[in-house]
């Protein structure tokens, strides 16, 4: 990477369609290959039941978190991630509907960003243990909005059940 502003950033990955494990592995490789970006850490992969707004059954989700260092601006990173979502054929039919690949910027350094396309820290992250548990695995000391310890946030969502199922590349 060239000299310049380098930011530690956390990215959330999720999939419940079209071979979710392959979707996550492919996305991780492509994120590691993004320009001006370096992959630092990967969580394990976690499995959980889908949240749904209606009674339609959905496949379980696989989720993980990556830590990267990047010289991309937050909007450049969002553009790059949305391009990857599109390349992997994300189905964007309805809110909380089934999706091939969902990529979220969870944290971008310690910046607070609030523009029409981007809210960072991610607005829902503190309510989702499928984000908080993998994040805690790679950065146990991290504090999120309001300087709250991640363990406390996880306990607030203790009714959400999920299991660590695999490592990246599919090993159990």
Q: Which residues bind ligand AMP (CB under 6 A)?
A: 78, 102, 104-105, 117-120, 122
Separation CA 155–CA 148 (nearest Å): 12
> Which residue is associated with the tokens 């909380």?
96
Is the CB of 104 or the CB of 130 nearer to ligand AMP?
104
Query: What span, in angstroms and rounded, lies between the C-alpha atoms of 86 and 109?
Result: 25
Q: Name the catalytic one among 99, 110, 128, 158.
A: 99
Q: Which is nearer to ligand AMP, 105 or 150 (CB)?
A: 105
Smallest distance from ligand AMP to CB 72, Å: 13
User: Minimal distance in Å, beta carbon 12 to ligand AMP?
Assistant: 8
Q: What are phi and psi of 98, to 5 degrees?
A: -60, 145
Q: Judged by CB, which is closer to ligand AMP: 109, or 164? A: 109
Least Å distance, CB 3 to ligand AMP, is 27
Q: Is 90 a catalytic residue?
A: yes
For the question of residue 158 being annotated catalytic, the response is no
* 92 assigned to active site: no
| String of DSSP letters for 69-85 | EE-S-HHHHHHHHHHHH
Return d(Cα 65, Cα 137) in angstroms, integer: 9
User: Minimum Å distance from CB 21 to ligand AMP?
Assistant: 20
**Residue 102 a catalytic site member:** yes
Q: Catalytic pick from 79, 104, 128, 158?
A: 104
- Residues facing residue 115 across a β-bridge: 118
What does the alpha-carbon distance between residue 52 and residue 79 come to, in Å, rounded to a whole number?
Answer: 27
Cis peptide before 13 (omega within 30 of 0): no
Task: Give 119 or 139: the residue with its C-beta nearer to ligand AMP.
Answer: 119
Residues belonging to the active site = 90, 99, 102, 104
């Amino acid at each position: 990477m060239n000299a310049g502003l380098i930011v530690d950033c956390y990215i959330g990955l999720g999939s419940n369609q079209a071979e979710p494990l392959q979707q996550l592995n492919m996305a991780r490789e492509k994120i590691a290959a993004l320009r001006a970006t370096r992959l630092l850490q990967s969580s394990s992969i976690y499995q959980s039941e889908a949240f749904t707004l209606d009674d339609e059954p959905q496949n379980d989700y696989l989720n993980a978190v990556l830590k990267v260092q990047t010289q991309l601006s937050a909007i450049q990173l969002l553009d790059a991630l949305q391009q990857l979502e599109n390349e992997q054929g994300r189905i964007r039919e309805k809110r909380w509907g089934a999706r091939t690949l969902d990529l979220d910027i969870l944290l971008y350094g310690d910046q607070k960003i609030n523009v029409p396309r981007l809210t960072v820290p991610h607005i829902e992250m503190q309510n989702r243990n499928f984000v908080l548990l993998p994040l805690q695995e790679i950065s146990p000391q991290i504090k999120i909005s309001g300087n709250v310890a991640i363990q406390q946030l996880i306990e607030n969502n203790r009714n959400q059940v999920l299991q660590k199922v695999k490592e990246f590349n599919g090993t159990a």
